[in-house]
């Protein structure tokens, strides 16, 4: 009889699941989250029905594949709060997010999705969002971040950065550094030109959802 790991999945079943997750992480990193379950199954060397027996939907697969990374995202935001210089903490966090995005095309897309079935994922993302709000307030209080900056502007940065990464190939790292340089100058106080009103949280969320509406299932 096959052994069970801590009363959970049998050892061979757990290994098979991890193999599927590893394949999904590779495909998502290289191509983003628009890939189909069939493409993930092909990369893992299994049939699509086999993949779907373990993960009922692509959302369930994405949630488990990115659980560890969203925890790192939260930890990075919390670690940035420990910097004595609020502006350095804020900008170093944004640079770290951009670096993560350079090696994983699915990263920014993953941050715009919700996975109510994955409590670990959602808890990690809420931790990160709370820390980001505090990073923003610290930088504003220090007089280094423009007063009209909002957390949704970080989503804007990541989406813009994703386009640059996707379109610049081998020069992605250099283009990334240039874009971040411009954006961080724009974010800095006092802000040379007033910005148009920012979209609301609900409007931002609806716009992000539309990015996934046409993705293959």
d(CA 187, CA 25): 32
Q: Any long-range contacts for 80-83 (C-beta under 8 Å, 24+ apart)?
A: 80/131, 80/135, 81/131, 81/134, 81/135, 81/138
Segments of the chain assigned to CATH 1.10.10.60 = 11-64
Class for the domain spanning 66-212 = mainly alpha
Output phi, psi for 10, to 5 deg. Answer: -60, 155
Output phi, psi for 66, to 5 deg. Answer: -105, 5
pLDDT digits (tens, 9 = 90+) for 95-136: 999 998 888 877 767 766 666 656 777 788 889 899 999 999
pLDDT digits (tens, 9 = 90+) for 162-216: 888 877 778 888 888 899 998 999 999 986 666 677 667 777 666 666 555 544 4
Angle at 63 between CA 208 and CA 89, to 5 degrees: 70
Class for the domain spanning 11-64 = mainly alpha
- The reported pTM is 0.74
DSSP 214: T
């Amino acid at each position: 009889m096959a052994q069970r790991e801590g009363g959970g999945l049998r050892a061979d079943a757990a290994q098979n699941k991890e193999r599927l997750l590893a394949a999904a992480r590779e495909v998502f990193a290289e191509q983003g989250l628009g890939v189909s379950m069939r493409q993930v199954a092909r990369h893992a060397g299994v049939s699509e029905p086999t993949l779907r027996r373990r993960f009922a939907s692509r959302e369930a697969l994405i949630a488990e594949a990115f659980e560890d990374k969203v925890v790192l995202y939260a930890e990075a935001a919390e670690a940035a709060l420990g910097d004595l210089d609020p502006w350095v903490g804020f900008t170093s966090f944004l640079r770290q997010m951009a670096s993560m995005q350079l090696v994983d095309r699915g990263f920014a897309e993953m941050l715009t999705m919700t996975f109510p079935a994955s409590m670990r994922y959602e808890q990690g993302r809420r931790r990160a969002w709370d820390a980001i709000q505090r990073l923003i307030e610290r930088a504003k209080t220090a007089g280094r971040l423009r007063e009209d900056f909002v957390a949704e502007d970080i989503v804007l940065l990541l989406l813009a950065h994703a386009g640059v990464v996707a379109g610049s190939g081998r020069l992605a790292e250099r283009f990334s550094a240039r874009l971040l340089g411009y954006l961080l100058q724009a974010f800095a106080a006092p802000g040379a030109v007033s910005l148009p009103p920012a979209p609301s949280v609900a409007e931002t969320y609806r716009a992000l959802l539309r990015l996934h509406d046409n993705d293959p299932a």
